[in-house]
Copies of this chain bind each other. A is one copy, B any other.
Amino acid sequence: MIYDLTRTLVSGMPVYPGDPEVQIVAGGAPPWRVSALRLGSHSGTHVDAPLHCIADGRGIDAFPLERFIAPGVVVDARGYADDAPIGVEVLTDVDLHPGMIVVVRTGWEAFWQDARYFQHPYLSTDLAHALVERRVSLVAVDALNVDSTVGGSDAAHAVLLGADILIAENLCNLAPLRCRQTYMFAILPLAPGALDGAPARALAWDVNHRFGSDLS
Chain A interfacial positions (CB closer than 8 Å to B): 2, 4, 6-10, 16, 18-20, 24, 26-27, 30-42, 44-45, 51-55, 61, 64-66, 69-71, 97-100, 154, 157-158, 184, 186, 188-193, 195-199, 201, 203, 211-212, 214-216
Contact = CB atoms under 8 A, between A and B. Distances in A.
Q: Enumerate the 3 nearest inter-chain pairs by beta-carbon distance, A residue then B residue, closest first.
A: A33-B196, A35-B41, A71-B212
Contacts of A201: 188-191, 201
Contact of A8 (B7, B191, B199): B191
Contact of A51 (B33, B38, B40, B154): B33
B8 A192 contact: yes
B8 A27 contact: no
Contacts of A45: 191
A45 B106 CA distance: 34
A37 to B, nearest CB: 5
A65 B211 contact: no
A188 B61 CA distance: 17
B38 A37 contact: yes
A36 B40 contact: yes
A53 B203 CA distance: 28
A15 B203 CA distance: 28
